[in-house]
Every structure is written in structure tokens, then in C-alpha cells.
């Protein structure tokens, strides 16, 4: 959807192939300049999730190109919920990699000249024995995520990470 001259949202339009496929797509993150899109694609059979992966598409001349699956490596079939740092150099995502702290953890990976580096678990205070999901970093650098492992109201409560002047992180 786009905003009109009055600042009101227009009627949403479905994105066609190659972004939408016969599978499930979601958890979309579009870069500040609107030229790159990162999203989760889940391949399902009739009963269960087989594979959740992160894809990237690039917009050129007003058209989205063919999505490419990001090769994040490792022992997981679940790589999902991408978000980028404001400078575009760090990709945050969720995975159930074996080296995690609990169920699903938030990981990060740095952009290099060759592509993406090696995934690193965010660790404490972000990740717990439970599930951390749906990370989102705002343009101002405030980081939000959901967790059922932090004390809250129950279920996947929404938390934000605050960094003080000394670089210490607290979760609210």
C-alpha cells in the first residue's frame, strides 16, 4: 500500500510472483531506501512446516527482482523474521540452531565484502530458555522482540532493548 497526497493509506495491492509463491511468505522488512526486501518463506507440506528460510529481493526500475534465499548455514531448518540494523550492516533473525539458549533464539550476522559472515547468538539478556521471536529494529536503533521466556503477562509478550550510555542493555 502507498500513501496518497493527503497522507492516507491507499487500498493494499497484492505483490505478485516472484515474491508471492504457492508457499507462505511473511515477516517482511524493507530497507529505509525501499530497494531491498527481506522476508520469511515457509515451505509447508499438508501436515507440517518443512522449511522456513529468509529471502532477499531487490527492487530495480520499480520492479522487484527474483528473490534469493540467504544461505545462513548451520543445523536448522528455521531461519525467520529478518530485520536489519539502521546502517544495513547487521541482519537479525530467529533460528532454532542447536547452539541456541532455548527454543528459538535471536541471532545476528554481519555483512562482509563477500556476503554475510557467521551467525552469532545474541545471548543474554535477549535469549532465554523459551522462545524469542519477531525481532524488529526501528530506524532510531530501538530493538523490539517477542518472548515467552522473559517475565511478562504470558505468551509472546513484546519487549524492547534499551542500551544506556555505558553500553549496558536492559530489557523492558
Please report, in tens digits, the pLDDT of each residue of the chain (172 residues total). Answer: 888 999 999 999 888 788 888 888 988 999 988 899 999 998 876 666 668 899 999 999 888 999 999 988 766 778 999 999 989 999 999 998 878 788 899 999 999 988 889 999 998 889 999 999 999 999 888 899 999 988 887 889 999 988 777 777 788 8
Contact 164, 170 (CB under 8 A): yes
Distance CA 36, CA 136 (A): 16
In this prediction the pTM is 0.87
Length of the chain: 172
Amino acid at each position: 500500500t502507498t500513501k496518497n497526497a493527503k497522507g492516507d493509506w491507499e487500498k493494499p495491492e497484492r505483490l505478485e510472483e516472484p515474491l508471492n509463491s504457492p508457499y507462505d511468505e511473511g515477516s517482511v522488512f524493507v530497507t529505509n531506501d525501499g530497494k531491498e526486501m527481506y522476508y520469511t518463506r515457509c515451505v509447508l507440506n499438508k501436515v507440517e512446516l518443512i522449511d522456513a528460510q529468509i529471502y532477499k529481493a531487490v527492487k530495480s526500475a520499480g520492479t522487484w527482482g527474483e528473490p534469493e534465499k540467504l544461505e545462513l548455514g548451520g543445523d536448522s531448518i528455521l531461519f525467520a523474521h529478518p530485520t536489519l540494523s539502521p546502517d544495513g550492516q547487521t541482519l537479525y533473525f530467529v533460528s532454532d540452531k542447536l547452539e541456541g539458549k532455548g527454543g528459538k533464539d535471536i541471532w545476528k550476522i554481519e555483512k562482509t565484502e563477500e556476503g554475510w559472515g557467521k551467525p552469532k547468538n545474541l545471548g543474554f539478556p535477549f535469549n532465554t530458555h523459551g522462545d524469542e521471536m519477531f525481532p524488529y529494529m526501528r530506524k532510531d536503533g530501538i530493538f523490539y522482540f517477542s518472548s515467552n521466556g522473559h517475565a511478562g503477562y504470558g505468551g509472546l509478550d513484546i519487549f524492547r532493548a534499551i542500551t544506556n550510555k555505558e553500553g549496558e542493555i536492559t530489557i523492558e
